[in-house]
Structure 1
Amino acid sequence: MSSTVFDSALFRDMFGTAEMRAIFSDEGLVGRYLEAEAALARAQARLGVIPRDAAHAIDAAAQSIEIDYNLLRHETEIVGYPILPLVHQLSKASGDAGGYVHWGATTQDIMDTANVLQIRAALDVVARDLTELRGILADLAVRHRDTPMAGRTHLQQALPVTFGYKAAVWLSSIDRHIERLGQARPRVLVGEFSGAAGTLASVGSGGLEMQRLYCEELGLGQPSITWHVARDGIAEAVTLLGLITGTLGKIATDVMMMAASEFGEVSEPFVPGRGASSTMPQKRNPISSELMLAAAKSVRQHVAAMLDGMIHDFERATGPWHLEWISLPESFLLTASSLANAKFMLAGLVVHEDRMRANLDLTGGLIVAEAVMMAAAPKLGRQHAHDVVYGACRQAIEGGGKLADILVGIPEVVEAIGGADAVRAKCNPANYLGLCGEMVDRVVGALEVDASRPAGAAALAGR
C-alpha cells in the first residue's frame, strides 16, 4: 500500500507526472548508479588504470544486470546507503572483472553523480514545459492585449489594465526562469569523483585526469574541487524550482480569485466532472490552480530544507545530506505537476470579457479618478485638481451616482479638461490603459527575438 501522495494510485498524477516519476523512481536511480559505475570503469581503462577487458565487462554488466531489489533494500537498511550492496551485485555480474568495480571511489561519489544525472534529465523536462508554457502565455497576452479590466491593488480596484498586460507580467517571470535555468546548468551539472575524504588519495597523481575523463564519459562538467560538503549546486536546483513554482502559485492565485463568483472574469477549462462538488451541482472548483498553489507552498518548504542541508560538518556530513534524498525528488515531482496543470489550465482558460468590462463599471467611474485629476492638473494645478476630484469621488461614494455626471456639473473641471464630452471620455476606463499594450509588445517581442536566434546560440545558452 502506498503511503504518500507521490506514490498513491489516487493522488500521484495530481502531485507529479509519470515522466518525472520515472526519472526519480528506484529503477531510475539505480540505473544512474550503474551508469556512473560503468563510466568510472571506462575512464579508468582509458588511462590504463584497469584493463580494458575489465571495463568492457563492467559496462556490459551494468547494462544487462537484473537487480535483486529485495536484497538491495535489505542490505541498504543495514549499511545505510545503497552503493555497497549494489557494488556487490554488479561485481558478481561482472565475473572476473568484478574486482575492478568502484575502483578508488567512495559511496557519495556515485550517489552525488547519479543525482546530478537525474537533475539533468529532470531539468530537461522542466525546460521543455517552461518553453511550452511561454508560448501559451504569449498567445494569451497577444489575444487580450487590449481587453480592459480592473487592475487591483490591496484587493481594491485601482486603475484599468488589460488582461493581456496581466498575462504578459506572468510571462515575463517565466522567461526569466528559462534564463535562470540555462545559467544554472554549468554550476549544477558537474560530476563527483573524489574518494573518501575528497582528496583522490586512493588513485594518486593521475586522479584529476581520471576525474576529467569520468565526467566526460557522462557528459558532465568537471568540478574545480570536491563538493561532497559544498552543496550549493544541489540547493540551487531546488531553489530554482521554488522560484518557478512560486510564479505558478501567483498565477494560480490570480486565476482563482478572478474565477470567484463575485468577479467571474475567467474560468478554468471545462471538463465534465472536474471540480465538481458532492453536494452542490453548480460548483466548478478551480482544481488546477489549487494544485499549483499547493505545489508552490510545498516546494517552498523543500527549499528551506535544502538551504538547511547546506550546512555540513567537516569533510563528510552526519545527516544533512540525507535531506536531499527527500527534497530533491519531491521538489521535481511537484514542479512537474504544477507545470502540467499550468499548461492545461492556461491553454484552455475561458476569459469573460463582458464581465471584465462590467466590473470596470462597478465603481461608477471612480477607477479613473486619477485620469480626470491628471487631465485637469495643467490648468488647476495638481493639488487643487486632486482636491476637487477627491470631493467629487466622495460625493459619488456617499450619495451614489456616476463620477462623470458629478464632474460635468463642476464648471472649473469642465473648463480645465475641455468640455463635458472630454470629461466623459476621461471617465471611460478603456481610455486610461497607460502603456499596457506597448508593454505586452515588449515582452512578446523579446520572445520573438529570442526565438529567432540561431539554433547554435540557443543551444549554447542552455549548456
Structure 2
Amino acid sequence: MLSSHIFRNMFGDDEMRDIFSDKSLVQRYLEVEVALARAEANAGIVPPQAAVAIESASRQLSVDLERLQRETENVGYPILGIVHQLAEAAGDAGGFVHWGATTQDIMDTATVLQIRRALELLNQKLMVIRASMVRLAARHRDTPMAGRTHLQQALPITFGYKVAVWLSMIDRHLTRLTDLRRRVLVGSFSGAAGTLASLGDKGLEVQAALCEELGLAQPTITWHVARDGVAETIAVLGLITASLAKVATDVMLMMSTEFGEVSEPFVQGRGASSTMPQKRNPISCELILATSKAVRQHVGLILDAMVQDFERATGPWHLEWIAVPESFILTAAACSHMIFMLGGLSVDAKRMRENLSLTSGLIVAEAVMMAAAPKLGRQRAHDIVYVACREARERASRLQDVLLATPEIVEALGGAEAVERHCDPVNYLGLSGKMVDRVLSLNPGAQSPSG
C-alpha cells in the first residue's frame, strides 16, 4: 500500500517516502562512508588524499542498484555491496573505504540521518495542524455544544474548548519531538564488537570527528544492541498518530447524520458512494484511523526489536528496517489527511445549539443541582433533581417545566426567572473560554526540532 500507484498517497506522501527511498538510503550510506574517511584522515589513520579520492568517487558514483540487490540478498546486508562499488570507483584509494567500521555502524548512522530529516518534516506538518487548531479554537471559543461522556450528553461545553483539548496534545507532541532529538540523533561508530579495537587508541577521536562531520551527537557508549532510542522514536510516532486518531474519531462521530455538527471539506465526489448519491463519507477520518492503527502495530514490533542477544543481534535488528520507514511514512499520511481536514472543516454552530436541546434540558441537571445545593444541601438537591429528570423523561416534558412545578427548587434557586436562567445550557459552560485562552497563550512548538 505504501508504494502502490493507486493507494500510495492515501497511506503516505512523496516527501516522506523520498526520505526513506532506496536512492536516499544509498546516499546516506555514502555520506557516512565519506565522513568516516575524512574523520580518519584528520586523525592520521588514512592518507588525506585517500579521503579526497573517496569523497570525489562518491559524488560521481551511480550505484548499480541491481548489483547491490544481488549482493545484499547474498550477504544479508547492503553495506558490503556499497563498499565494493565505492572502493572500485575510488581506484587506489579504495582500500581505505570503510576502514575500521562494521556494517551496523554505517547502517545505524544512515538511519539516524534519515530520522533527523523525517523529524524535521513531521515537525513542519504538526505546526500546520497546530495553526489550524489555533484558528478553530479561537473562532469557536464561545460556540456552545453538548459535551458527551460514555456517548451520552453530559454537560454543555464549547467547540473551541474541544479543539483546545486536541491542541494541547499536539503541543505536547511538538515538545516530545524536540526532546527526542537529544537522545536519538546520535552517531554510531564502534567497530565489530563495539570496542573500537581496530583503531587502537584513536577510536574515540575518530568517533567524535565522524559525528561532528555529520552533525550528530557522539554516543557515550556503543548502542549496537541498546535500541531504546530507535524504539522511543517509533513510540512517539505511535503517540502522535493515536492523538490524530482521537481527533478523527470525534470528527467522524460529529459528522454522523444524527449529530451533523461538523463535516470534512467538500470536494466534488469525495466520500461518495457508488450506490447512494446522498452519501458524504468521512474519508480523511477513516484514513487517519487506518494509518494510526498500523503505526501502533509497528510500536509493538519496534519494542520486540529491543530484545537483542549479546553484542550483535541475530535478527531483531532487521525488524527496525520494516518499522522505521513504514511508521514515518504512515505518520506523514495521517498528518497530511489531518491538515486537509482541519484546513477546511465545516462547523455547524446552529446544529450544535439545536443538539443542546435534544434532552429537553436534562443536560443542565447538574447546573440546577449545584445552584440549589447551598440552600438544600448537595444530596437533597441531587435527589430532587434526579426525580425531576425521571419525571421529565416519562412525560416527555422539558426539565424546566417540571422544575417550575417543584416549589422546593423554585424557592432554593430564588424564583421562576432563576430556574429559567439555570436551565439555559449557555449559562453553564464553566471555564471553557478561559481554558481555551490558556492553551492559546502557550506555544511549545515554537522551537523546531531542526535546531
Q: What is the TM-score with the length of structure 1 in the denominator?
A: 0.96
Letter in 1 for 2:81: P
| Residue 259 (structure 1) aligned with residue 255 (structure 2) | yes
Distance in 2 of aligned mates of 1:6 and 1:133: 23
User: Residue 5 of structure 2 corresponds to which residue in structure 1?
Assistant: 9
Determine if the alignment matches structure 1 residue 54 to structure 2 residue 50.
Answer: yes
The reply to whether residue 405 of structure 1 matches residue 409 of structure 2 is no
Q: Which residue of 1 aligns with 2:233?
A: 237
- 1:416 matches 2:385: no
Give RMSD over aligned pairs.
1.0
Q: Give the conservation status (yes or no) of the 8 Å contact 1:265–1:353.
A: yes
Per-residue CA deviation, residues 113-170 of structure 1 (Å, 9 max, x unaligned), is: 0000000000000011111111110110000000000000000000000000000000
SS at match of 2:148: strand
Give the count of matched residue pairs: 451
Match for residue 185 of structure 1? 181
Q: Quick check: 1:183–1:462 contact (8 Å CA) kept in 2?
A: no
Kindly state the Cα deviation for residue 450 of structure 1 after the two structures are TM-superposed: 6.9
Q: Is 2:123 the counterpart of 1:127?
A: yes
Secondary structure (helix, strand or coil) at the match of 1:446 reads coil
Amino acid at match of 1:416: A
Asked whether the 8 Å contact 2:79–2:103 carries over to 1, the reply is: yes
Partner Cα distance (1:273, 1:201) in 2: 64
User: Who is 1:147 aligned against?
Assistant: 143
Aligned to 1:438: 434
CA shift for structure 1 position 96? 1.0
**Which residue does 1:290 correspond to in 2?**
286
Unaligned runs of 5+ in 2: none
1:344 maps to 340
Distance 1:383 1:348 in 2: 46
The letter for the 2-side match of 1:201 is A
Quote how far apart the aligned CAs of 1:346 are: 0.6
Corresponding residue to 2:319 among 312, 317, 323: 323
1:296: Cα distance to partner? 1.1
Q: Tell me which stretches of 4 or more aligned residues in structure 1 moved more than 2 Å.
A: none
Determine which of 14, 19, 24 is the counterpart of 1:23: 19
Pairing of 1:76-95 with structure 2 (within 5 A): 76-95=72-91
Q: For 1:380-395, what aligned pairs fall within 5 Å after superposition? A: 380-395=376-391
> TM-score under structure 2 normalisation?
0.99
Give secondary structure in 2 for the equivalent of 1:321.
Answer: helix
Contact 2:120–2:450 (Cα < 8 Å) also in 1? no
CA distance in 1, matches of 2:445, 2:126: 14
Q: CA deviation at 1:106?
A: 0.2
Q: Provide the C-alpha distance between the structure 1 equivalents of 2:173 and 2:410, rounded to a whole number of angstroms.
A: 49
CA contact (8 A) 2:144 2:158 kept: yes
Q: CA deviation at 1:462?
A: 6.0
Report the CA distance between 1:411 and its aligned residue: 1.1
Superposition deviation, residue 67 in structure 1: 0.7
Contiguous gaps of at least 5 residues in structure 1: 452-457
**Separation in 1 of the partners of 2:426 and 2:89?**
73
Q: C-alpha displacement at 1:284, in angstroms?
A: 0.7
User: Which residue does the alignment assign to 1:115?
Assistant: 111
Distance in 2, Cα, partners of 1:295 & 1:194: 36
The residue number in structure 1 matching 2:243 is 247
Q: Give the alignment partner of residue 360 of structure 1, picking from 347, 356, 361.
A: 356
Partner SS state of residue 98, structure 1: helix
Q: Is the contact made by 1:414 and 1:420 (CA closer than 8 Å) also made in structure 2? A: yes
Give the secondary-structure state (helix, strand or coil) at the position aligned to 2:285. helix
User: Which residue of the partner structure matches residue 101 of structure 1?
Assistant: 97
Q: Which amino acid aligns with 1:443?
A: V
Q: 1-side partners of 2:73 and 2:153: how far apart?
A: 59
Structure 1 residues 448-463: aligned runs within 5 Å? 451=446, 458=447, 463=451
Matched, 1:425 2:398: no
Task: Measure how far apart 1:412 and its partner are.
Answer: 1.3
Alignment partners' CA distance in 1, 2:52 and 2:282: 55
CA distance in 2, matches of 1:363, 1:60: 75
Query: Matches of 1:153 and 1:426 in 2, distance apart?
Result: 21
Letter in 2 for 1:287: I
Paired letter, 1:126: L
C-alpha distance in structure 2 between counterparts of 1:95 and 1:272, whole Å:
59
Structure 2 residue matching 1:203: 3-state secondary structure? helix
1:454 maps to what in 2?
none
Deviations along 1:219-276, whole A, 9 cap, x unmatched? 0000000000000000011001000000000000000000000110000000111111
Amino acid at match of 1:241: L
The 3-state SS of whatever aligns with 2:275 is: coil
Alignment of 1:209 onto 2:199 = no
Partner of 1:43: 39
CA distance in 1, matches of 2:2, 2:380: 62
Q: Pick from 26, 29, 32 the counterpart of residue 33 of structure 1.
A: 29
Which moves more between the two structures, 412-421 or 329-338?
Answer: 412-421
Percent identity for Structure 1 against Structure 2: 65
For residue 173 of structure 1, what is the aligned residue in structure 2? 169
